[in-house]
Structure 1
């Protein structure tokens, strides 16, 4: 009886949140689903377009390619930062915390324009390389996929640090000491013991970064310069500039379903408490 009462109390506490989510997210999303089947005329024509239109296909392929590269680079950088944060000296830990926290204090728009100032043809990097005679012509570092990947990696790396650090803190140091005692080198201990034991953190970080990357709009729009359009920007173009609300809604529905599947995969392999 007491257990049943606790469940009812928990349900009452969760009710306002569930109601808010239903009104703020579920109801508008159902409207988008309706648009995808009714605009400009009833049917599944917009979903056929998703499959047959070369432009839409190229945008989806580009988005997946960029998201995979951003995920790899972000998780790799975050792993190094988390390793220093968890197992470094006090001074190193403090420096790692600054590297993790400072990006959260700067807006995504400011960071994107900061990278434009660094990577553009007349930016700091190209100007410096030309001044020392390393290059004769500016490198194409922005308004392409490279610039988009750099900007997105910079933004998403801090988000990948937390699940990795959580997994590293959960390690039993006695296992590492046992490996060292049996004659394993530091490098072998790291790759055969440490990395496999933090696999849950790696999976969680990768899925978090990949899901966030799928919905990026500002950074690709600024650093891509319209030449590296991703799915979120395509939805904006179809809704506000074409206008083709039906196709934009269909793209949104497919994106939400795909993200939901990834989140289900995340919670299949990683417990929520391991992500913080």
Structure 2
């Protein structure tokens, strides 16, 4: 006796493939592509049609200063996060499975805590009457409190703390795939511990280094809460500058221009990443 196919399978076989993805495509166009297109359109039409807003990238010292500050903080954050993340990922890849589970827990724990809570925690630690300054003054190492907050240093500290997991995970994925016999083989051929690491292990982790660097840099470009709290309004990054232009000064053209250039920069960085490493493996698929 023939068994009838389920109605869902018959329906799926009778519909063209593009109609099956049409609902998801409509949602993407309505709630993602259209708003982005509108932002781009406003950047060319407010307050008047033309490229006047984009000309500010060349003529406005304020816009250039915001971009330079943002790039400087993002580069510093990326370098420090990459160095710290490499050490943590190396220790993680070398640890036994039971220890790895606990290490993963502590690495991922910051992702489960609100970025707002973490930013205010760093305010408590870094302020003039905070734990660090009080400890240094109590130990007699300094006479006056250090300026550890409301500046680029405080912003970088908060951003590095947030970014560590995003550096560790790609680096660990790259290290996990390395044959553990390669470094001992190099040592057996006469290489020192440092030479074996520099000539064998480090080059094999280059895809993870590139992926972690680009991911941390991209995420850092769009930071808002951490710079707003730890910078105290004295150090403006792009996201805070966009908020200032749109919500406070009602200058939609300039604000959307900055948002558009930020989006274009991120897309170009992701494209560059996809040309160097398998981006699907970076995000945990493939």
Q: Are 1:171 and 2:171 an aligned pair?
A: no
- Which residue does the alignment assign to 1:104? 111
> How far 1:23 moved relative to its partner?
2.0
- Which residue does the alignment assign to 2:62? 55
Structure 1 or 2, whichever has the larger Rg, is 2
- The whole-number CA distance in structure 2 between the counterparts of 1:9 and 1:78 is 47
- Which residue does the alignment assign to 2:42? 35
| TM-score (ref. length: structure 2) | 0.90
- Which residue does the alignment assign to 2:212? 205
- The whole-number CA distance in structure 2 between the counterparts of 1:169 and 1:273 is 16
- Which residue does the alignment assign to 1:158? 165
> How far 1:213 moved relative to its partner?
0.3
Give the 3 Å change call, closer, same or farther, for CA 12–130 of structure 1 in structure 2: farther
Give the 3 Å change call, closer, same or farther, for CA 9–210 of structure 1 in structure 2: farther
What are the Cα deviations for residues 225-271 of structure 1, in whole angstroms up to 9, with x where unaligned? Answer: 11110011110000001121000011111111111000001111110
- The whole-number CA distance in structure 1 between the counterparts of 2:16 and 2:89 is 38
Q: Secondary structure at the match of 1:140?
A: coil
| TM-score (ref. length: structure 1) | 0.93
> How far 1:98 moved relative to its partner?
2.8
Counting matched residue pairs gives 271
> How far 1:18 moved relative to its partner?
3.6
Q: Are 1:80 and 2:93 an aligned pair?
A: no
Q: Structure 1 residues 9-18 or 195-204, which shifts more? A: 9-18
Give the 3 Å change call, closer, same or farther, for CA 187–50 of structure 1 in structure 2: same
What does residue range 112-191 of structure 1 map to in structure 2 within 5 Å?
Answer: 112-191=119-198
Give the 3 Å change call, closer, same or farther, for CA 270–18 of structure 1 in structure 2: farther
- The whole-number CA distance in structure 2 between the counterparts of 1:109 and 1:253 is 26
Q: Structure 1 residues 141-150 or 29-38, which shifts more? A: 29-38
**Structure 1 stretches lacking a partner, 5+ long:** none
Match of 2:245 among 217, 234, 238: 238
Q: Are 1:222 and 2:229 an aligned pair?
A: yes
What are the Cα deviations for residues 189-231 of structure 1, in whole angstroms up to 9, with x where unaligned? Answer: 1111111100000000000000000000000000011111001
> How far 1:80 moved relative to its partner?
1.0
What are the Cα deviations for residues 91-121 of structure 1, in whole angstroms up to 9, with x where unaligned? Answer: 6424421331110111100000000000000
**Structure 2 stretches lacking a partner, 5+ long:** 1-11
